[in-house]
Chains A and B, each alone.
Chain A
Amino acid sequence: MSSTKLLTLKTSDGEEFKLDEAVAVKSQAIKNMVEDDCVSNAIPLPNVDSKTMTKVIEYWKKHSEEGVSKDQLNDFDKGFLEVHHSVLYDLLLAANYLNDKELVDVICQEVADRIKGKTPEEIRKEFDIKNDFTPEEEEKIRQENAWAFD
């Protein structure tokens, strides 16, 4: 068994994570740094906090495991994404910053699924959004789209 290189990632709140290079390069950003050979010390990730990094690493590790069936991965993803939308948002920002397209797509799809089939009010409740239409604008929308508010 060949020895795999261990990388050290340092999050915004100063915590350090040690990770196999083979797993860490799921992040295109990290992959680029490895290729440019600037990873002798800890890789700083000032835009990601430790709480989010823990989750990202959990996802990377599961998706790097051998002998995991597609069904098992789907089950894992389902559970992984069953979190509050603010957690998803932090994950999305991190995945975007780390440039992991696959993870970005998976999270976007989950949030999109939470929008599908909902009325405007249901969407607002789901994502804690303030309705900033004026009462007149709101009334006009209601009149034209009574179906949407049933």
Chain B
Amino acid sequence: MAILLDDEAPIHGDVLETILSHVPLIYLVPASYVSKSWSRAITTSLQCFNKAKPWLIIHTQCTRSPYDISVRAYDPRSHVWIEISQPSIKYVSALRSSHSNLLYMLSPSKLSFSFDPMNITWHHVDAPRVWRTDPIVSHVGGSIIIAGGTCDFEDDPLAVEVYNTETRTWEMCESMPAILKDSAASTWLSIATTRDKLIVTEKFTGVTYCFDPKLKKWAGPYELRPDPRIFHSVIGFSNNRLILIGMIGDAENVTRLKIWKVDTESFECEELGEMPSELIKKLKSETFGVSSISVCLAGDYAYMSKSSELAEEIVGCEFINGGGVRWWSMKNEAAGDGNRSERVVFTCSVIGLGDLQRAMSLGNRKFALKL
């Protein structure tokens, strides 16, 4: 077969770029090594025809030794589910996430955490001084902040510690505001992290405080209650947007779910959109009504479901530039087989071609479409 030069190659130019927009991101990695013109075509295709979009990543940890973690991801750019096989992570304790792509495991002696887009790098540090069962854990600008969640016999239920990555030590800080005394645990608090602040909102009241890990001080309170009928609030931050998700009604009967954009200085709220009622149904579970929903955000996407272990369907939401929100739902292809000996954690990451190229170049990870 004759080898043709670039200009004469059968498939090139915008035809190639259009074709590449139909190829899932994981397959664009080998395609980017085919030739320089293909590499250029992929870059253009990703910029103009079909951009990379944030992945929903579902981590399932077996609750029995050796506590293996299996990972599946959904790529909304191509509407495909991906099986990711990766090296085992040394077990420390139950896997958790509190925002976007932070994963952590906390035991009395150790804290292991990872915050890169594909959770490739894990950091292992000593546990904080105060033992906590259900704290809020967050990663803000290179610091790890742990607050609340202490046991009954600890002195200060509002204790806050910040891990300094340079001195590799935990530092005690100003405790959480006293008003949060009875709700100082991740069950009752929703958190969001900006580049330099931790924002904490009490799910039932909307009372909100900010923590600055550099000054080690709390600011607030702010009231996140744009609608007095909200009974449950969840916050999140991505792409320079602080988001408030508010449910209206009560746990047994959620009548509406709205989304607001929140100004990070004034905490004023601007309504962005409302979830269609047929999608609200997908967040309800028979036993718990809508008492806890799992939300994760990255880029311009948010994924919501009833608490991660039970979610058969996932509701997605895309923030459209210029205002407005696009809603959709999809089946959770990573749902367990009803096998309750699993812990399920949802994270969300902006994954670009470069991230995948780096992950694949490690040679110890495989990505395959789940068929």
Chain A interface residues (CB < 8 Å from chain B): 85-86, 89, 92-93, 96, 104-105, 108-109, 111-112, 115-120, 123-124, 127-133, 141, 144-148
* Bound Cα distance A111, B22 (Å): 9
**Residues 1-20 of B at the A interface (beta carbon under 8 Å):** 1-6, 9-11, 15, 18-20
> For A124, what are the chain B residues with a Cβ–Cβ distance below 8 Å?
34-35
Known A-B contacts: A141-B33, A148-B33. Give 10 more (CB < 8 A).
A93-B15, A123-B30, A123-B38, A128-B1, A129-B34, A130-B9, A132-B37, A145-B360, A146-B363, A147-B360
Which residue of chain B has the shortest Cβ distance to A96 in the bound complex? B15
Contacts of A130 in B (CB 8 A): 3-6, 9, 35
B31 at the interface (CB under 8 A from A): yes
From residue B249, how far is it (CB to closest CB) to chain A in Å? 42
Which chain A residues border B23 with CB–CB below 8 Å? 112, 115-116
Min CB gap B29→A, angstroms: 8
Say how far A139's CB is from chain B's closest CB, in angstroms: 12
Docked CA distance A122–B75 (Å): 25
Chain B stretch 30-47: residues in CB contact (< 8 A) with chain A: 30-31, 33-38
Instruction: Kindly list chain B residues whose C-beta atoms are within 8 Å of the C-beta of A118.
Output: 27, 30
- The contact sample of 22 A-B pairs, CB cut-off 8 A, is A86-B10, A89-B15, A108-B19, A111-B19, A112-B20, A112-B23, A115-B27, A115-B31, A116-B24, A116-B369, A117-B27, A118-B30, A123-B34, A128-B1, A128-B10, A130-B4, A130-B6, A132-B6, A133-B33, A133-B35, A141-B33, A144-B361
Q: How many whole Å from A51's CB to the nearest CB in chain B?
A: 15
Interface majority SS (helix, strand, loop, mixed), chain A: helix
8 nearest interchain CB pairs? A112-B22, A120-B33, A86-B10, A112-B23, A144-B361, A89-B10, A108-B22, A111-B19
**Inter-chain contacts of B360 with A (CB < 8 A):** 145, 147-148
- Chain B residues with CB under 8 Å of A116's CB are 23-24, 27, 369
State whether B27 touches A129 (Cβ < 8 A). Answer: no
* CB nearest to A145 among chain B residues: B361
CB A47 to nearest CB in B, in angstroms, measures 13
Q: How far apart are the CA atoms of A115 and B37 in the complex, in Å?
A: 15
Cβ contact of A128, chosen from B2, B21, B30, cutoff 8 A? B2
- Set of chain A residues within 8 Å of B2, measured between Cβ atoms: 128
